[in-house]
């Protein structure tokens, strides 16, 4: 489990197709404290650490299945791509965002960006199958970042991203046309499922 509060910006150092895709990700995390088998959310995708090292900088390796590549924006990764990173919650950690599983539901696209004061209003287009789970003032995880939805219209929704978030995540470098991983709020998913039985 994660919270959608990003704690590092990692960098893709190496990609290799070995049946599954293997990625090496540079990080500021102390890799001595990362156990093999640990979960780290990379742009919101929960991935399992299979190796770590410290040369030429701290890094960890993950293996990524073809299904994960097909359902997320991992297919867009290249050497040098910067990623939002979050380590899994530990008992007693502060839940500062919302409950995020790291199981990405699909990909949304940035369709507009507009500065509003020091913040930036982002507009996204989501897949129709997911858009019904996005609600005004509800939570959504985009590239692993817990964000509050401002407005919804059909498959389009908007969020405001404040300067601090732009500084400590990849959102400061985002551009119109970027594909971003979207994970809908777990509670919204269960409410929708319950309503199916009521109907």
Q: Do domains 8-87 and 106-198 have the same CATH topology?
A: yes
Whether the upstream peptide bond of residue 56 has omega within 30° of 0, thus cis, is yes
Name which residue leads in pLDDT, 67 or 196: 67
Q: What is the pLDDT of residue 78?
A: 97
What residue spans define the domains of the chain? 8-87, 106-198
Distance CA 76, CA 83 (A): 12
Q: What is the pLDDT of residue 190?
A: 66
Q: What is the pLDDT of residue 189?
A: 67
Min mean pLDDT across 31-35, 38-42, 137-141, 195-199 is at: 195-199
Q: Per-residue pLDDT averaged across 42-63, rounded?
A: 97
User: Hey, how many other C-beta atoms are within 10 angstroms of the C-beta on 47?
Assistant: 23
**Residue 118, Cβ density class (10 Å: 0-12 exposed, 13-18 middle, ≥19 buried):** exposed
Flag whether pLDDT at 7 surpasses 90.
yes
CATH code of the domain made up of 8-87? 2.40.30.20
Q: Which residues pair with 113 in a beta bridge?
A: 122
**Digit-coded pLDDT (tens) for 131-170:** 989 999 999 999 999 999 999 999 999 999 999 999 999 9
Flag whether pLDDT at 196 surpasses 80.
no
Q: What is the pLDDT of residue 193?
A: 63
Distance CA 147, CA 75 (A): 23
Q: What is the pTM of this model?
A: 0.93
Pick the CATH number of 106-198 from 1.10.3720.10, 2.40.30.20, 1.10.150.130, 1.10.10.60: 2.40.30.20
Name which residue leads in pLDDT, 188 or 57: 57
Q: Per-residue pLDDT averaged across 34-51, rounded?
A: 97
Q: Per-residue pLDDT averaged across 56-80, rounded?
A: 96
Strand, helix or coil at 66?
A: helix
Min mean pLDDT across 27-31, 52-56, 96-100 is at: 96-100
Q: What is the pLDDT of residue 1?
A: 87
From residue 86, how far is each of 70, 135, 144, 181 by CA, in Å?
Answer: 22, 25, 8, 14
Q: What is the pLDDT of residue 115?
A: 96
Q: How confident is the model at residue 187 (pLDDT cuts 50, 70, 90)?
A: confident
């Amino acid at each position: 489990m994660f919270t959608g509060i990003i704690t590092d910006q990692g960098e893709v150092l190496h990609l290799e197709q070995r049946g599954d895709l293997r990625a090496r990700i540079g990080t500021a995390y102390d890799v001595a404290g990362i156990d093999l088998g640990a979960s780290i959310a990379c742009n919101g995708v929960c991935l399992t650490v299979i190796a770590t090292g410290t040369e030429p900088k701290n890094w960890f390796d993950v293996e990524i299945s073809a299904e994960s590549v097909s359902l997320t924006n991992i297919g867009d990764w290249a050497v040098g791509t910067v990623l939002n990173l979050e380590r899994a919650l530990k008992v007693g950690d502060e839940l500062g965002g919302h409950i995020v599983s790291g199981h990405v539901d699909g990909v949304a696209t940035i369709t507009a960006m507009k500065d509003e004061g020091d913040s930036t209003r982002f507009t996204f287009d989501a897949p129709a199958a997911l858009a019904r789970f996005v609600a005004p003032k509800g939570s959504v995880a985009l590239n692993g970042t817990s964000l509050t939805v401002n407005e919804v219209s059909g498959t389009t929704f908007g969020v405001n991203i404040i300067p601090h978030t732009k500084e400590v995540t990849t959102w400061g470098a985002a551009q119109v046309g970027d594909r971003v991983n979207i994970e809908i709020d777990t509670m919204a998913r269960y409410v929708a499922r319950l309503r199916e039985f009521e109907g």
